[in-house]
Structure 1
């Protein structure tokens, strides 16, 4: 897995481009935000997250899909239960993953962050394959964007407290941070 610094796309991962992105206002990348997602809630696989991030969610497949189909959201990456990584948005662009958010006194975290979605829920443990892929991806991102230090890795719940709960109590921050080094 290698980042093409000109395009912001990783080689060696699946590409599934999302239209739900735009240009970063300043080009800064200094925060990593960890999320979780499952569609429908609590169910894994099926390609529904990919369809959601591409505005192609079939509302006839599940009643919950009708509630969220009009939303236009994305993340830079999704790590599925088997550890496979999909990239939706170039790292150079702003994905729409954080919403109303604030970190270190700065609002609009999408402007300066990368978003990684883990296929999962707040309550269910994430898989070994996901932690391995997350660690590998995070190390590659730290090499490319040295401002992403251990202190600048946060959960969605940290930057949108009271509004978001992910990645949730089942996420093991120590497991992620072990082996990661400051750049």
Structure 2
């Protein structure tokens, strides 16, 4: 299937009640990964926006909610008054240090992650969550960190992570080049 056909299939799947109720998954919340070639990022963004707008104008009994990890990070930095300070810090200390500092400020690896808290506070009862911005937020935010922390707090609605790279059902390879050595308990949404 080409990418357009895979999106059509994904739309069909998320409309099905069994998908949103997580039936057939051992009563475990559904976590899904929709992988795609990184060079198709702009197409994917447009298609996700299309799906979201289509859902808003429909009589569906659920809401598609899109969380862009990069946008959330920037908004948190702005709210805390750190964004401009981050620019100065990066100039003085370098990219690796600012990456670590921002990750620590966001508490990415802890149970009180600011990004996970934001997502949790902004999910309606009947929803399908789309997680985007994986490539834009790398290396500050790692997809395995988000998936692992979301598993602990989101257990009532399905989550679809749009991943610019490859997922074989166990391993993620960002941009088709950067292998993540973590195992994932997520289903591939569409092959």
TM-score, length-scaled by structure 2: 0.30
Q: Which has the higher strand share?
A: 1
The structure with more helix, counted as a fraction of residues: 2
